[in-house]
Structure 1
Amino acid sequence: MARLDELNQEMKIAMKAKDKEKLSTIRMLKSALQTEQINKGEELTEEDELTVLSREKKQRVESLNEFKAAGRDDLVLKLEREIEIVDDYLPAQLSEEEVREIVQDTVEQTGASSMKDMGKVMGALMPKVKGKADGNLVSSIVKEELNK
Protein backbone atom coordinates (compact mmCIF):
# COMPACT_ATOMS: atom_id res chain seq x y z
CA MET A 1 0.00 0.00 0.00
CA ALA A 2 1.85 3.01 -1.31
CA ARG A 3 0.09 5.80 0.60
CA LEU A 4 0.42 4.13 4.01
CA ASP A 5 4.14 3.55 3.42
CA GLU A 6 4.52 7.16 2.30
CA LEU A 7 2.63 8.38 5.38
CA ASN A 8 4.84 6.25 7.67
CA GLN A 9 7.97 7.80 6.16
CA GLU A 10 6.53 11.32 6.41
CA MET A 11 5.51 10.62 10.01
CA LYS A 12 9.11 9.77 10.93
CA ILE A 13 10.35 12.95 9.27
CA ALA A 14 7.74 15.05 11.08
CA MET A 15 8.70 13.45 14.41
CA LYS A 16 12.37 14.24 13.89
CA ALA A 17 11.53 17.79 12.86
CA LYS A 18 9.18 18.14 15.85
CA ASP A 19 6.43 19.38 13.52
CA LYS A 20 3.41 18.63 15.70
CA GLU A 21 0.79 19.93 13.26
CA LYS A 22 2.07 17.82 10.38
CA LEU A 23 2.51 14.80 12.62
CA SER A 24 -1.05 14.93 13.94
CA THR A 25 -2.48 15.43 10.43
CA ILE A 26 -0.47 12.51 9.04
CA ARG A 27 -1.60 10.31 11.93
CA MET A 28 -5.20 11.28 11.21
CA LEU A 29 -4.81 10.44 7.50
CA LYS A 30 -3.12 7.15 8.31
CA SER A 31 -5.89 6.26 10.75
CA ALA A 32 -8.58 7.07 8.18
CA LEU A 33 -6.88 4.86 5.57
CA GLN A 34 -6.41 2.00 8.02
CA THR A 35 -10.03 2.23 9.18
CA GLU A 36 -11.23 2.11 5.58
CA GLN A 37 -9.00 -0.91 4.92
CA ILE A 38 -10.40 -2.72 7.96
CA ASN A 39 -13.98 -1.90 6.94
CA LYS A 40 -13.35 -3.08 3.39
CA GLY A 41 -11.53 -6.20 4.57
CA GLU A 42 -8.87 -6.02 1.87
CA GLU A 43 -6.06 -3.84 0.55
CA LEU A 44 -7.21 -0.44 -0.66
CA THR A 45 -6.84 0.43 -4.32
CA GLU A 46 -5.38 3.77 -5.31
CA GLU A 47 -8.92 4.93 -6.08
CA ASP A 48 -10.05 3.91 -2.58
CA GLU A 49 -7.14 5.84 -1.09
CA LEU A 50 -8.05 8.93 -3.12
CA THR A 51 -11.64 8.63 -1.95
CA VAL A 52 -10.58 8.55 1.71
CA LEU A 53 -8.13 11.44 1.33
CA SER A 54 -10.68 13.50 -0.62
CA ARG A 55 -13.27 12.86 2.08
CA GLU A 56 -10.83 14.01 4.77
CA LYS A 57 -10.07 17.19 2.83
CA LYS A 58 -13.76 17.87 2.21
CA GLN A 59 -14.51 17.57 5.94
CA ARG A 60 -11.81 20.09 6.73
CA VAL A 61 -12.95 22.53 4.05
CA GLU A 62 -16.51 22.39 5.38
CA SER A 63 -15.29 22.93 8.95
CA LEU A 64 -13.07 25.78 7.75
CA ASN A 65 -16.06 27.57 6.23
CA GLU A 66 -18.05 27.13 9.45
CA PHE A 67 -15.18 28.41 11.61
CA LYS A 68 -14.71 31.43 9.34
CA ALA A 69 -18.41 32.25 9.65
CA ALA A 70 -18.17 31.92 13.43
CA GLY A 71 -15.08 34.13 13.60
CA ARG A 72 -12.85 31.40 15.06
CA ASP A 73 -9.57 32.60 13.54
CA ASP A 74 -7.49 30.33 15.78
CA LEU A 75 -9.17 27.23 14.34
CA VAL A 76 -9.18 28.65 10.80
CA LEU A 77 -5.38 28.83 10.75
CA LYS A 78 -5.05 25.27 12.10
CA LEU A 79 -7.46 23.89 9.49
CA GLU A 80 -5.81 25.78 6.64
CA ARG A 81 -2.51 24.12 7.60
CA GLU A 82 -4.19 20.69 7.78
CA ILE A 83 -5.72 21.20 4.32
CA GLU A 84 -2.27 22.09 2.92
CA ILE A 85 -0.86 18.87 4.38
CA VAL A 86 -3.73 16.74 3.02
CA ASP A 87 -3.23 18.36 -0.40
CA ASP A 88 0.35 17.04 -0.42
CA TYR A 89 -1.05 13.49 -0.65
CA LEU A 90 -3.70 14.22 -3.29
CA PRO A 91 -3.05 14.56 -7.03
CA ALA A 92 -2.68 18.05 -8.42
CA GLN A 93 -6.05 19.78 -8.68
CA LEU A 94 -7.48 20.58 -12.09
CA SER A 95 -8.02 24.23 -12.96
CA GLU A 96 -11.53 25.51 -13.58
CA GLU A 97 -10.80 25.65 -17.33
CA GLU A 98 -9.65 22.01 -17.36
CA VAL A 99 -12.76 20.93 -15.45
CA ARG A 100 -14.93 22.93 -17.87
CA GLU A 101 -13.33 21.11 -20.85
CA ILE A 102 -13.88 17.69 -19.27
CA VAL A 103 -17.51 18.61 -18.45
CA GLN A 104 -18.17 19.79 -22.02
CA ASP A 105 -16.68 16.58 -23.45
CA THR A 106 -18.73 14.44 -21.07
CA VAL A 107 -21.95 16.32 -21.87
CA GLU A 108 -21.31 15.68 -25.57
CA GLN A 109 -20.47 12.00 -24.98
CA THR A 110 -23.60 11.36 -22.92
CA GLY A 111 -25.85 13.35 -25.25
CA ALA A 112 -27.22 15.31 -22.29
CA SER A 113 -29.43 18.24 -23.16
CA SER A 114 -31.22 19.33 -19.99
CA MET A 115 -31.03 19.30 -16.21
CA LYS A 116 -32.89 15.97 -16.29
CA ASP A 117 -29.64 14.44 -17.59
CA MET A 118 -27.49 15.76 -14.73
CA GLY A 119 -27.28 12.38 -12.98
CA LYS A 120 -26.13 10.71 -16.17
CA VAL A 121 -23.46 13.38 -16.75
CA MET A 122 -22.24 13.33 -13.14
CA GLY A 123 -22.07 9.52 -13.17
CA ALA A 124 -19.85 9.55 -16.24
CA LEU A 125 -17.85 12.57 -15.10
CA MET A 126 -16.90 11.84 -11.49
CA PRO A 127 -14.55 8.91 -12.21
CA LYS A 128 -12.61 11.21 -14.55
CA VAL A 129 -12.11 13.94 -11.96
CA LYS A 130 -12.15 11.99 -8.69
CA GLY A 131 -9.60 13.45 -6.29
CA LYS A 132 -8.55 16.01 -8.89
CA ALA A 133 -11.41 18.51 -8.63
CA ASP A 134 -13.84 19.76 -6.02
CA GLY A 135 -17.26 18.14 -6.41
CA ASN A 136 -19.07 21.44 -5.83
CA LEU A 137 -17.12 23.09 -8.65
CA VAL A 138 -17.84 20.16 -10.97
CA SER A 139 -21.54 20.21 -10.10
CA SER A 140 -21.86 23.95 -10.68
CA ILE A 141 -20.13 23.73 -14.07
CA VAL A 142 -22.38 20.82 -15.11
CA LYS A 143 -25.47 22.83 -14.13
CA GLU A 144 -24.14 25.79 -16.08
CA GLU A 145 -23.52 23.64 -19.17
CA LEU A 146 -26.90 21.94 -19.02
CA ASN A 147 -28.75 25.27 -18.63
CA LYS A 148 -27.30 26.76 -21.83
Structure 2
Amino acid sequence: MSDLKKQITEQMKVAMRAKDKVRLNAIRLMLADINRIEIDERTELDDARVLATLDKMMKQRKDSIAQYQAAERPELADKEQQELEVIKTFLPQPLSDVEIEDIINNAMLTSGASSMQDMGKVMSIIKPLVQGRADISAVSAKVKARL
Protein backbone atom coordinates (compact mmCIF):
# COMPACT_ATOMS: atom_id res chain seq x y z
CA MET A 1 0.00 0.00 0.00
CA SER A 2 1.35 3.42 -0.94
CA ASP A 3 2.25 5.90 1.78
CA LEU A 4 -0.31 8.39 0.51
CA LYS A 5 -3.09 5.80 0.59
CA LYS A 6 -2.10 4.88 4.16
CA GLN A 7 -2.22 8.54 5.12
CA ILE A 8 -5.69 8.91 3.59
CA THR A 9 -6.91 5.81 5.43
CA GLU A 10 -5.54 7.12 8.74
CA GLN A 11 -7.22 10.47 8.18
CA MET A 12 -10.49 8.64 7.53
CA LYS A 13 -10.22 7.08 10.99
CA VAL A 14 -9.48 10.49 12.52
CA ALA A 15 -12.51 11.99 10.77
CA MET A 16 -14.69 9.14 12.04
CA ARG A 17 -13.58 9.72 15.63
CA ALA A 18 -14.11 13.47 15.28
CA LYS A 19 -17.53 12.89 13.67
CA ASP A 20 -16.52 15.25 10.85
CA LYS A 21 -19.04 14.12 8.23
CA VAL A 22 -17.92 16.45 5.44
CA ARG A 23 -14.28 15.36 5.69
CA LEU A 24 -15.23 11.72 6.16
CA ASN A 25 -17.44 11.68 3.04
CA ALA A 26 -14.75 13.33 0.92
CA ILE A 27 -12.10 10.87 2.14
CA ARG A 28 -14.40 7.94 1.47
CA LEU A 29 -14.90 9.21 -2.10
CA MET A 30 -11.13 9.41 -2.57
CA LEU A 31 -10.56 5.89 -1.23
CA ALA A 32 -13.43 4.51 -3.33
CA ASP A 33 -11.89 5.96 -6.48
CA ILE A 34 -8.43 4.62 -5.58
CA ASN A 35 -9.83 1.17 -4.75
CA ARG A 36 -11.88 1.12 -7.97
CA ILE A 37 -8.75 1.71 -10.04
CA GLU A 38 -6.85 -0.96 -8.09
CA ILE A 39 -9.61 -3.50 -8.67
CA ASP A 40 -10.07 -2.61 -12.35
CA GLU A 41 -6.34 -2.88 -13.06
CA ARG A 42 -5.65 -5.68 -10.54
CA THR A 43 -2.67 -3.80 -9.16
CA GLU A 44 -1.67 -1.71 -6.18
CA LEU A 45 -1.24 1.97 -6.94
CA ASP A 46 1.98 3.74 -6.06
CA ASP A 47 2.11 7.28 -4.66
CA ALA A 48 2.45 8.86 -8.12
CA ARG A 49 -0.67 7.10 -9.37
CA VAL A 50 -2.64 7.97 -6.20
CA LEU A 51 -1.54 11.58 -6.67
CA ALA A 52 -2.72 11.52 -10.29
CA THR A 53 -6.09 10.15 -9.13
CA LEU A 54 -6.45 12.92 -6.54
CA ASP A 55 -5.45 15.50 -9.14
CA LYS A 56 -8.16 14.20 -11.45
CA MET A 57 -10.73 14.33 -8.65
CA MET A 58 -9.71 17.92 -7.92
CA LYS A 59 -10.22 18.89 -11.56
CA GLN A 60 -13.64 17.21 -11.57
CA ARG A 61 -14.66 19.20 -8.49
CA LYS A 62 -13.56 22.48 -10.09
CA ASP A 63 -15.61 21.68 -13.21
CA SER A 64 -18.63 20.76 -11.09
CA ILE A 65 -18.38 23.98 -9.09
CA ALA A 66 -18.38 26.04 -12.29
CA GLN A 67 -21.40 24.15 -13.64
CA TYR A 68 -23.36 24.46 -10.38
CA GLN A 69 -22.65 28.17 -10.19
CA ALA A 70 -23.78 28.62 -13.78
CA ALA A 71 -26.99 26.74 -12.93
CA GLU A 72 -27.45 28.91 -9.83
CA ARG A 73 -27.16 25.99 -7.40
CA PRO A 74 -24.93 27.47 -4.68
CA GLU A 75 -25.68 24.69 -2.15
CA LEU A 76 -24.26 22.05 -4.51
CA ALA A 77 -21.31 24.26 -5.41
CA ASP A 78 -20.55 24.69 -1.69
CA LYS A 79 -20.59 20.90 -1.18
CA GLU A 80 -18.16 20.42 -4.07
CA GLN A 81 -15.95 23.23 -2.70
CA GLN A 82 -15.79 21.51 0.69
CA GLU A 83 -14.74 18.24 -0.98
CA LEU A 84 -12.16 20.13 -3.02
CA GLU A 85 -10.64 21.61 0.15
CA VAL A 86 -10.32 18.13 1.70
CA ILE A 87 -8.66 16.73 -1.45
CA LYS A 88 -6.18 19.64 -1.46
CA THR A 89 -4.97 18.66 2.03
CA PHE A 90 -3.52 15.43 0.60
CA LEU A 91 -1.76 17.05 -2.36
CA PRO A 92 1.80 18.40 -2.10
CA GLN A 93 2.56 22.13 -1.91
CA PRO A 94 1.68 23.90 -5.17
CA LEU A 95 4.57 25.05 -7.32
CA SER A 96 5.32 28.74 -7.65
CA ASP A 97 5.40 30.42 -11.07
CA VAL A 98 9.20 30.59 -10.90
CA GLU A 99 9.46 26.84 -10.19
CA ILE A 100 7.08 26.07 -13.07
CA GLU A 101 9.16 28.23 -15.44
CA ASP A 102 12.34 26.40 -14.33
CA ILE A 103 10.70 23.01 -14.99
CA ILE A 104 9.53 24.18 -18.43
CA ASN A 105 13.02 25.52 -19.28
CA ASN A 106 14.71 22.28 -18.21
CA ALA A 107 12.19 20.15 -20.12
CA MET A 108 12.67 22.20 -23.29
CA LEU A 109 16.45 21.92 -23.03
CA THR A 110 16.31 18.19 -22.29
CA SER A 111 13.96 17.42 -25.17
CA GLY A 112 15.56 19.86 -27.60
CA ALA A 113 12.11 21.26 -28.41
CA SER A 114 11.97 23.91 -31.11
CA SER A 115 8.44 23.81 -32.55
CA MET A 116 4.85 22.86 -31.73
CA GLN A 117 5.58 19.36 -33.03
CA ASP A 118 7.73 18.82 -29.93
CA MET A 119 4.89 19.68 -27.52
CA GLY A 120 4.28 16.01 -26.65
CA LYS A 121 7.95 15.43 -25.79
CA VAL A 122 8.06 18.46 -23.51
CA MET A 123 4.78 17.66 -21.76
CA SER A 124 5.81 14.02 -21.18
CA ILE A 125 8.81 15.33 -19.23
CA ILE A 126 6.86 18.02 -17.37
CA LYS A 127 3.71 16.12 -16.39
CA PRO A 128 5.23 13.76 -13.78
CA LEU A 129 7.06 16.69 -12.18
CA VAL A 130 4.02 18.92 -11.74
CA GLN A 131 1.29 16.30 -11.17
CA GLY A 132 -0.84 17.44 -8.25
CA ARG A 133 1.28 20.53 -7.73
CA ALA A 134 0.13 22.70 -10.65
CA ASP A 135 -2.72 22.93 -13.12
CA ILE A 136 -1.58 20.85 -16.10
CA SER A 137 -3.68 22.85 -18.56
CA ALA A 138 -2.11 26.13 -17.39
CA VAL A 139 1.38 24.64 -17.69
CA SER A 140 0.49 23.32 -21.15
CA ALA A 141 -0.63 26.81 -22.19
CA LYS A 142 2.71 28.25 -21.02
CA VAL A 143 4.63 25.62 -23.00
CA LYS A 144 2.49 26.29 -26.07
CA ALA A 145 3.20 30.02 -25.79
CA ARG A 146 6.94 29.32 -25.58
CA LEU A 147 6.92 27.04 -28.64
Same fold (TM over 0.5): yes
- The match for 1:70 is 71
Partners of 2:9 and 2:47 in 1: how far apart? 17
1:22-45 per-position Cα deviation (integer Å, ceiling 9, x unaligned): 110000011111111112212211
1:90-140 per-position Cα deviation (integer Å, ceiling 9, x unaligned): 111112221122112211221212222211211121122122211111111
Partners of 2:75 and 2:4 in 1: how far apart? 30
Partners of 2:16 and 2:110 in 1: how far apart? 49
Give the TM-score taking structure 1 as reference length. Answer: 0.90
- The match for 1:141 is 142
Report the identity percentage: 38
- The match for 1:53 is 54
Partners of 1:6 and 1:108 in 2: how far apart? 36
- The match for 2:119 is 118
Partners of 1:79 and 1:96 in 2: how far apart? 27
Shift of the alpha carbon at 1:69? 2.2
Q: Structure 1: any 5+ residue segments left out of the alignment?
A: none
Question: Could you say what the CA RMSD is over the residues aligned between the two structures, in angstroms?
Answer: 1.4
8 Å Cα contact 2:5-2:50 kept in structure 1: no
Partners of 2:81 and 2:99 in 1: how far apart? 25
8 Å Cα contact 1:104-1:145 kept in structure 2: no
Give the TM-score taking structure 2 as reference length. Answer: 0.90
